[in-house]
Amino acid sequence: MSKNKNVFTSRQVIVDVVSGDILEDKITSRFQNRNSENFAMYTTTNGLEWAIPYKGYLLFLMVLNQYADNDGTLCLSAYRRKEINRFFGWTNSRSLTNALGYMIEINGIKRLSQNDFMINPETVYKGSTVSKAEKITKYNAI
């Protein structure tokens, strides 16, 4: 099985306008490496009211989700913290600390240890729909 996936195909046909003959028929495809492709979901089961407290923090939650393992846990090493700060243009390290604190306050994440967190799978989630209920149970048990 190929590790690349066809994400775009175009067809260019050049026709002689006098005779109607096809002079050239060219199909071009663009491929994406499947290993670099990620998908995340957000929940709409009970509407989007859950997102109101997140306002400008939804992108922050998506970035955290990008760094999370498949089980929803997130280890914020010093390197990852620097990457997140750089992504948002934050020059003050307190900005990340404050954003994490706010995410904890509104139940977007839970702290597991000093540098480890778990993202609430009822907000932004990556994984199969089959395992979502299990991850919600795990999150709520923390």
**Contact call for residues 135 and 121 (beta carbons, < 8 A):** yes
More confident residue, 105 or 42: 105
Report how far residue 96's alpha carbon sits from residue 18's, in angstroms, rounded to the nearest whole number.
Answer: 66
CATH number assigned to the domain with residue range 41-141, chosen from the 4 options 1.10.1740, 1.20.120, 3.40.50, 1.10.10: 1.10.10
Q: How confident is the model over 79-138, as pLDDT tens digits?
A: 999 999 999 999 998 999 999 999 999 999 999 999 999 999 888 887 777 788 888 888
Question: What is the DSSP annotation of 70-87?
Answer: TTSEEE--HHHHHHHHHH
- What's the predicted TM-score (pTM) here? 0.68
List where CATH 1.10.10 sits in the chain: 41-141
d(CA 44, CA 113): 30
